[in-house]
């Protein structure tokens, strides 16, 4: 299909057509997502956990993100790609934030960047937007500051916290973000934001919204460390891969692989080199 743009995403919000959004980190996954007709791909800093094996997202570097975004762009040339700004790529200053957001655009050809936080990153969002770069905000459960939240916990479950989140969402819109992602928040709060905001409100673990995001490692059954409540599993790729490796090892050990159909036989009589 044709690559979508913010014009499509605004129309989809207006018409109540949910955007489909998954994470992907490498060429094959991106290619499969595009072939499935997925609307957007997030190259999340969750790559630290899903593909690099870290316990959290904070060790992920700009270089990791750029390299994975490049692979994803090669795999999905006609899909909207969101580059996720890693820990410490935007926390220090507006100038840093603009420079690093610019690297995603220049070096990895992504369509926009995403960063975590509400009011406290409003000046970052404005600075990046003023540089002509599209930004998606991200509030609720924000993994890069999960220490301050007391862990990977749902947010906005009491009225005081919900009000603070709604103020954050409005600040993100006011700062110039073209969309916002809400993570692990009650659907009542997400639904209110969806009506209150002009920009699309996307959800991961936050109920129905203008679009849904899911982490490929979770939905495909590749990430084994833990599975959040909000994940629906659509496949068990870990099991498929483990069984394939076992079958291969078994074949090699028993001499069933390689078989005659897997070899290139010599095309001439072998006496020639047997004389050597």
Binding residues for 3-methyl-2-oxobutanoate: 45-46, 84, 114
Residue 57 contacts residue 144 (beta carbons within 8 Å): yes
Long-range contacts formed by 16-19: CB under 8 A, 24+ apart: 18/208, 18/209, 18/210, 18/211, 18/212, 19/200, 19/202, 19/210, 19/211, 19/212
Asked whether position 183 contacts ligand KIV by CB under 6 A, the answer is: yes
Asked whether position 84 contacts Na ion by CB under 5 A, the answer is: yes
Binding residues: 45-46, 84, 114, 116
**In whole angstroms, what is the distance from residue 200 CA to residue 79 CA?**
18
Given the residues 183, 198, 268, 274, the one annotated as active site: 183
Cβ distance to ligand KIV smaller for residue 1 or 59:
59
Is 183 a known active-site residue?
A: yes
**In whole angstroms, what is the distance from residue 33 CA to residue 79 CA?**
9
The rounded radius of gyration (Å) of the Cα atoms in the chain is 23
Hey, which residues between 38 and 97 contact ligand KIV (CB under 6 A)? 42, 44-46, 84
Binding residues for Mg(2+): 45, 84, 116
Cβ distance to Na ion smaller for residue 226 or 273:
226
Q: Which residue is nearest to ligand KIV (CB)?
A: 44
**In whole angstroms, what is the distance from residue 97 CA to residue 125 CA?**
8
Cβ distance to Na ion smaller for residue 115 or 193:
115
Please, what is the minimum distance in Å from the beta carbon of residue 9 to ligand KIV? 17
How far is residue 271 from each of residues 241, 263, 267, measured CA to CA in Å? 43, 20, 12
Q: Within 13 Å, how many C-alpha atoms sit on residue 202's CB side?
A: 26
**Of 108, 204, 206, 209, which one interacts with ligand KIV (CB under 6 A)?**
204
**In whole angstroms, what is the distance from residue 185 CA to residue 16 CA?**
20
Cβ distance to ligand KIV smaller for residue 13 or 68:
68
Under the rule (CB under 5 A), what is the footprint of Na ion? 44-45, 84
Under the rule (CB under 6 A), what is the footprint of ligand KIV? 23, 42, 44-46, 84, 181, 183, 204, 213, 215
Residues labelled as active-site residues: 183
């Amino acid at each position: 299909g044709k690559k979508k743009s913010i014009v499509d995403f605004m129309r989809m919000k207006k018409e109540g057509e949910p955007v489909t959004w998954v994470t992907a980190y490498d060429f094959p996954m991106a290619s499969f997502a595009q072939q499935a007709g997925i609307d957007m791909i997030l190259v999340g800093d969750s790559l630290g956990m899903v593909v690099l094996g870290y316990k959290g997202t904070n060790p992920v570097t700009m270089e990791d993100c750029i390299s994975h975004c490049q692979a994803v762009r090669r795999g999905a040339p006609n899909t909207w790609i969101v580059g996720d700004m890693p820990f410490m790529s935007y926390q220090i200053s507006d100038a840093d934030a603009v420079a690093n957001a610019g690297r995603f655009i220049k070096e990895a050809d992504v369509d926009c960047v995403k960063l975590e936080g509400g009011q406290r990153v409003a000046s970052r969002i404005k600075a990046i937007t003023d540089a002509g770069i599209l930004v998606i905000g991200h509030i609720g459960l924000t993994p890069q500051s999960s220490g301050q939240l007391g862990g990977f916990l749902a947010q906005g479950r009491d009225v005081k916290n919900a009000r603070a989140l709604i103020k954050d969402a409005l600040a993100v819109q006011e700062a110039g973000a073209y969309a916002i992602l809400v993570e692990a928040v009650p659907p009542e709060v997400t639904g209110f934001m969806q009506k209150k905001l002009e920009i699309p409100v996307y959800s991961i673990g936050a109920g129905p919204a203008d679009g849904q995001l899911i982490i490929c490692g979770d939905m495909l059954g590749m990430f084994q460390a833990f599975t959040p409540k909000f994940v629906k599993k659509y496949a068990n790729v870990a099991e498929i891969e483990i069984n394939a490796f076992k079958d291969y090892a078994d074949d090699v050990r028993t001499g069933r692989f390689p078989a005659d159909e897997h070899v290139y036989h010599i095309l001439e009589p072998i006496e020639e080199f047997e004389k050597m």
